[in-house]
């Protein structure tokens, strides 16, 4: 429930960071300025005794986030993929949040499965192990289907997880509202809209029926992708709080020592992760939006296996083209083109200077172009990018939040596999291929075909539209009837006829 009572939750967040010893570590990791350090410590120290104690056996940052709850754990999972931002030591510590959290009991999990699927566990599964992985929202058990003997992974939501997330998200709404009220400059970042977007994503993640559908769609889209697999959904053993997938053996993509011991090529894996993400985002417009190491395995044959499809991203065709043009412009070092695309898409206010914006983008691109990852400070780059967005009045685009966040995570995963990765070289063939297909004569014909197909749907309504136009012409309407409607009907009729003909011609051409 939203309201001022959530101030207590926010105060307790600062107090928990102080009590667990995580406050200074977090501030150091982000290289926080002196003013922010002073405010954070001044607010946290007096209330230190209010903070959660957490598990003393855990490192401070991990201890604080796990004590605070699932929404904070989600934030920690993102940071765990960015050693270049938070440092190697903290990244390793936070990686525990991906799939090694304390599990709830197997008996509770079995009870949840029985309640959801309406049958005794022993009748459905001949084997049902203790939890093999536990994250912020759910945990996974290895099982064997009684009727077929097939090994599967059974994902079960944590008990009362919906209520726990609701409390955290309500506090986040209050924090966003306070930021907008006390700092008018933050409004361009639309913090409340960002939290609303996060809220919608989380609500979807708490319904495993939606995750099952996402896994099924993602598997269909990526069926032909070499070196990539998605486990098959077992629909008859899945529901709102339980999801069953085919079991996938393999090594976690976050365990470099195990990958090396198994003889996998980490350089090739890092390249493939980045290229797969770009392919899914640009080609399909549907991508895995939680691609941290805890959700990726490497099978014995070298295939990358993805799982945990609670957060998926979708971008429409127009946005894909804009995104590809921006990436392509950076790859070609054509900053004027990148600037113009930003203005055409409305990402930068029209009253700003396009040439000045192009120069600011050059200051972003030139220091990192052609560099391997070890020579790029992502923390400094993100700081400068934030300054650029503020200078040019760029607002947060909520429709791109998942895409931007996932890009940061995936690039971090690729870096962890190969610290010397050159993202420009890896991205270039994928982006260039998409550009060649989406911008040019063939793309124009394809767009016409899609438009014609939409117009052709008016076909069944054409007789009624024509009759209505003719009737109104023979019986003139009063002056206040606005005759534009008749001309719209006639235009729709002509457009549908033309569309049907064009669509048929283009279909034949293809």
- Compute the average pLDDT of residues 28-38: 67
Q: Please check the confidence at residue 334 and state whether its pLDDT lies above 80.
A: yes
Q: Please check the confidence at residue 218 and state whether its pLDDT lies above 90.
A: yes
Asked if residues 131 and 114 have their Cβ atoms less than 8 Å apart, the reply is no
Residue spans per domain, the chain = 6-98, 102-135+137-247, 251-439, 441-509
Instruction: With CA atoms as reference, report the closest residue to 466 among 494, 498, 502.
Output: 494
- 21-59 CB burial, b ≥16 within 10 A, e <16: ebbebbbebeeeeeeeeeebbebbeeeeeebbebeeebb
> What span, in angstroms and rounded, lies between the C-alpha atoms of 484 and 200?
40
- Compute the average pLDDT of residues 238-242: 95
pTM score: 0.70
- Compute the average pLDDT of residues 281-287: 91
Predicted confidence at residue 141, as pLDDT, reads: 96
Predicted confidence at residue 240, as pLDDT, reads: 94
- Compute the average pLDDT of residues 435-447: 67
Q: Specify the 3-state DSSP secondary structure of 444.
A: helix
> What span, in angstroms and rounded, lies between the C-alpha atoms of 180 and 90?
30
Q: Please check the confidence at residue 496 and state whether its pLDDT lies above 50.
A: no
Q: Specify the 3-state DSSP secondary structure of 399.
A: helix
Asked if residues 138 and 112 have their Cβ atoms less than 8 Å apart, the reply is no
Q: What's the full length of the chain, in residues?
A: 510
468 catalytic residue (yes or no): no
Percent of the chain with pLDDT over 70: 73
Which one from 168, 170, 290, 308 is the annotated catalytic residue?
A: 290
Q: Which pairing describes strands 304-306 and 296-298: parallel, antiparallel, or unpaired? A: antiparallel
Mean pLDDT of the chain: 79
Please, which pLDDT band fits residue 504 given cuts at 50, 70 and 90?
very low
pLDDT tens digits for range 44-91: 677 777 788 888 888 888 888 888 877 788 777 766 666 655 666 777
Instruction: With CA atoms as reference, report the closest residue to 468 among 482, 455, 487.
Output: 487
Written as six digits, the tokens of 47 are 């209330």
């Amino acid at each position: 429930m939203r309201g001022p009572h959530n101030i207590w939750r926010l105060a307790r967040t600062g107090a928990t960071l102080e009590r667990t010893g995580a406050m200074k570590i977090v501030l150091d990791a982000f290289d926080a300025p002196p003013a922010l350090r002073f405010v954070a410590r001044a607010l946290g120290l007096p209330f230190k005794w209010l903070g959660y104690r957490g598990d003393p056996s855990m490192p401070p940052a991990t201890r604080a986030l796990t004590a605070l709850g699932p929404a904070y754990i989600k934030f920690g999972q993102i940071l765990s993929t960015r050693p270049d931002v938070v440092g190697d030591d903290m990244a390793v510590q936070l990686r525990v949040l991906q799939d090694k959290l304390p599990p709830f009991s197997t008996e509770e999990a079995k009870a949840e499965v029985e309640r959801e699927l309406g049958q005794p566990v022993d009748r459905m599964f001949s084997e049902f192990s203790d939890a093999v992985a536990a994250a912020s929202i759910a945990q996974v058990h290895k099982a064997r289907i009684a009727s077929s003997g097939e090994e599967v992974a059974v994902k079960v939501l944590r008990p009362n997880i919906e209520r726990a997330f609701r409390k955290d998200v309500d506090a986040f709404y209050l924090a966003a509202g306070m930021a907008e009220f006390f700092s008018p400059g933050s409004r361009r970042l639309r913090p409340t809209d960002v939290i609303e977007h996060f809220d919608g994503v989380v609500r979807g993640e708490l319904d495993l029926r939606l995750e099952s559908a996402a896994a099924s769609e993602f598997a269909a889209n990526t069926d032909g992708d070499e070196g990539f697999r998605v486990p098959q959904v077992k629909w008859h053993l899945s529901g709102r709080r339980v999801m069953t997938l085919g079991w996938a053996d393999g090594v976690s993509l976050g365990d470099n020592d195990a990958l090396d011991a198994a003889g996998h090529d980490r350089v090739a894996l890092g390249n493939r992760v980045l290229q797969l993400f770009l392919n899914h985002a640009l080609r399909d417009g549907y991508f895995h939006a939680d691609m941290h190491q805890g959700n990726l395995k490497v099978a014995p044959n070298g295939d990358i296996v993805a799982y945990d499809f609670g957060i998926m991203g979708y971008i429409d065709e127009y946005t894909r083209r804009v995104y590809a043009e921006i990436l392509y412009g950076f790859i070609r070092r054509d900053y004027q083109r990148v600037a113009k695309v930003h203005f055409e898409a409305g990402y930068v206010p029209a009253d700003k200077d396009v040439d000045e914006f192009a120069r600011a983008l050059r200051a972003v691109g030139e220091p990192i172009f052609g560099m391997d990852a070890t020579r790029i400070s992502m923390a400094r780059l993100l700081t400068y990018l934030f300054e650029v967005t503020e200078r040019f009045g760029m607002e947060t685009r909520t429709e791109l939040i998942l895409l931007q966040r996932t890009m940061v995570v995936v690039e971090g995963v690729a870096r962890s596999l190969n610290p010397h990765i050159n993202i420009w070289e890896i991205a270039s063939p994928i982006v260039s291929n998409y550009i060649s297909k989406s911008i040019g004569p063939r793309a124009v014909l394809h767009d016409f075909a899609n438009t014609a197909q939409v117009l052709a749907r008016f076909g069944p309504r054409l007789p009624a539209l024509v009759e209505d136009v003719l009737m109104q012409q023979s019986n003139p309407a009063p002056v206040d009837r606005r005759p534009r409607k008749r001309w719209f009907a006639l235009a729709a009729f002509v457009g549908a006829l033309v569309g049907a003909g064009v669509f048929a011609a283009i279909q034949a051409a293809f």
